[in-house]
Amino acid sequence: MNPETATHSTTERTLHTANEVILRPERSLTALAVSRLVKNRLAVLGLVILCALIVAATMAPLLTRYSPTAMDTSNRFQPPSLEHLMGTDQFGRDLLSRIVYAGRVSLTVGIISVGVAGLLGTIIGLTSAYYGGWWDLLVSRLMDVLFAFPPVLLAIAIMAALGQNITNVMIAIGIVNTPIFARVVRATAMGVSGRLFVEAAQALGASNRRIILKHVFPNCLPPLIVQTTVAFAWAVIAEAALSFLGLGTRPPTPSWGRILDEGRNVMEYAPWQPVFAGLAIMITVFSLNVLGDGLRDALDPESTR
């Protein structure tokens, strides 16, 4: 998006917000956004699924009857049953256990890589928009370069360079996400930086640090929150894709991508394996997508609902 058009629309939006606050002084913007969000049934569904997934991942040992890595060769390729709700794989390992434990990997990778990328991207975006000059020029050109690679390919290339382990998966996904966060925050911060209340704060002698944190940053939160859900969804897909291609986590650590890849080789006898593994990825991504859509609508000051 062109930074100029972004600036324009943000200004317009914030004006709307101001009107809304005057019209409804009894409710804060946050309360308004929350009340809009809970009215969106699909977004609530996404939030519930996401919470359930996080609970399942944290309490994995309590929820599963079998170890995710325990092999039982007498029980290979068992179809789903009461014993094994999702069946067993080629080594007789319980698929439900493996998928629940793999959720830990996916969510950890997502939370850490998106957290770090969000933090770095926000700092880069805020400072480049506020200070401008050579720093902004450098940041903008660097972002142009990183945006010139298809995201999946960039992650694959970074994994090839760094070597295959879970830390590097997070680094690769983080590197791809950082410029996206930086761009989102920079575009919003550019619109805010030129506004009167920032000039007023400067005239009053507030430090740059204070202005950025207290005046510019809060205005960047809505797009930042939405971008976080998008980045998280992508991180889950990317982690699975890297593991699927044999470039992600190493065996025997269970990962949705690798369970799916292993399942692909045996799907003539055990079609449930790739089906359940993919379903786990899709449900996670779906919950993040609908939550993101809901947040986008709820945080949009132009919407009147």
Partner 1 sequence: MIRYVAYRLLLAVPVLFGISLVVFLLIQMIPGDVVSALLGMRTSPEAAAALRRMFGLDQPLPVQYARWAGAILRGDLGHSLRTGLPVSYLLASRLVVTAELAGLGVLLAVLFGMPLGVIAALRQNTTTDYLATSGALVGLSMPDFWLGTLLVLVFSIRLRWLPPTGYVPFSVDPLQNLKLMLMPAVTLAGGSASYIMRMTRSLLLEVLSKDYVRTARGKGLPERTVVYAHAFRNALVPILSVVGQQLGYLMGGVVIVEAIFAVPGIGRTALESIYNRDYPVVMGVVLLIALIYVVINLVVDLLAAIVDVRIREQIASPGR
Work out whether 44 is an interface residue with partner 1 (CB under 8 A): no
Please name which of 38, 187, 160, 176 lies closest in space to residue 110, comparing C-alpha atoms.
Answer: 176
Q: How far is CA 14 from the centre of its chain?
A: 26
Q: With respect to partner 1, which residue has the nearer C-beta, 119 or 157?
A: 157
Task: Select from 8-16, 26-34, 151-159, 209-217 the region that touches partner 1 (CB under 8 A).
Answer: 151-159
% helix, strand, coil for the chain, step of 5: 75, 0, 25
User: Which residue stretch of 23-31, 76-84, 101-109, 240-248 sits at the interface with partner 1 (rule: CB under 8 A)?
Assistant: 240-248
Residue from 240, 259, 291, 295 touching partner 1 (CB under 8 A): that is 240
Count interface residues toward partner 1 (CB under 8 A): 47
What single letter denotes the amino acid at residue 292? G
Which residue reads 């970074």 in tokens?
158
- Does residue 268 belong to the site contacting partner 1 (CB under 8 A)? yes
- In order of 58, 251, 277, the CA distances from 69 in angstroms are 17, 10, 16
Q: Which is nearer to partner 1, 112 or 236 (CB)?
A: 236
CA dist list (Å): 224 to 2, 104, 121, 216, 272: 18, 24, 10, 13, 38
Whose Cβ is closer to partner 1: residue 63's or residue 152's?
152
**Which residues within the stretch 167-226 sit at the binding site for partner 1 (CB under 8 A)?**
none
Distinct helix (H) and strand (E) counts, the chain: 13, 0
* Site residues (vs partner 1, CB under 8 A): 2-4, 132, 141-142, 144-146, 148-153, 156-158, 160-163, 233, 237, 240-241, 244-247, 257, 260, 263-264, 267-268, 271, 274-275, 277-278, 281-282, 285-286, 289-290
